[in-house]
Amino acid sequence: MTAHSLSLEHLERIAACRAIVAAKGASSPYVADCVVRAYQGRHIADLCHDAGVSCDEATVITIAAGIGTLRLAWTGNHFESRTCVEVPSNAGTATTDTLPMPLSASPAVRQERTSICTQCNHLVSDRCSVAGCACAGLGQPANRFSRCPIGKW
Ligand code: SF4
């Protein structure tokens, strides 16, 4: 396993979070939150490419952000939400105000992805059976930065 951390220089290269870097600076915790949201449902190779980091099948990148910690590895991602952990068990149902929500895909993108999924053998009970844990953000047509785990969209 090769553990990598992203430097400020790497963060500045990530186009999806460039506006936040420009507004708050690369060291702002909002930038880490943005990177987590943007890459939660994407493969580690995408982040390596966008940040200018070389990586291979042994690379692991961990991003500790305000909303939680994202661990990206070649075989899948794991996100541990800080907000989820801190919600007390007697607090009732968490609302969208307390949980970090992924950015939505446009209606056209969502429709195109959903149409592909509905014709796919891996869709079981309206869920992708390949995507694994929902925390990884894969196989979710409505999530802007999600992707199909086998590359159909
Ligand atoms: S995300 Fe991909 S593998 Fe999963 S159901 Fe949709 S098309 Fe099939």
Tens digit of each residue's pLDDT (9 = 90 or more) over 16-62: 888 888 888 888 778 888 898 889 888 999 999 999 988 999 999 99
Q: 108 C-alpha vs ligand 1 centroid, how far in Å?
A: 17
pLDDT digits (tens, 9 = 90+) for 58-87: 999 998 887 788 999 998 899 887 654 444
**Among 109, 119, 128, 146, residue to substitute to test ligand 1 (most atoms within 8 Å of Cβ):** 128
Predicted local confidence at residue 136, as pLDDT: 65
Ligand 1 neighbours, Cβ below 6 Å, are 116-117, 120, 122-123, 128, 130-131, 139, 148-150, 152
Predicted local confidence at residue 135, as pLDDT: 65
Q: 113 C-alpha vs ligand 1 centroid, how far in Å?
A: 8
pLDDT, averaged across the chain: 81
Pairing of strands 2-4, 68-73: unpaired
Predicted local confidence at residue 18, as pLDDT: 87
Q: 59 C-alpha vs ligand 1 centroid, how far in Å?
A: 25
Lowest mean pLDDT, pick from 101-110, 113-122, 127-136, 139-148: 127-136
pLDDT digits (tens, 9 = 90+) for 7-27: 888 888 999 888 888 888 888
Which residue has the CA at smallest separation from atom 4 of ligand 1? Answer: 128
Predicted local confidence at residue 148, as pLDDT: 82
Q: Give the ligand 1 atom nearest the CA of 117.
A: 6
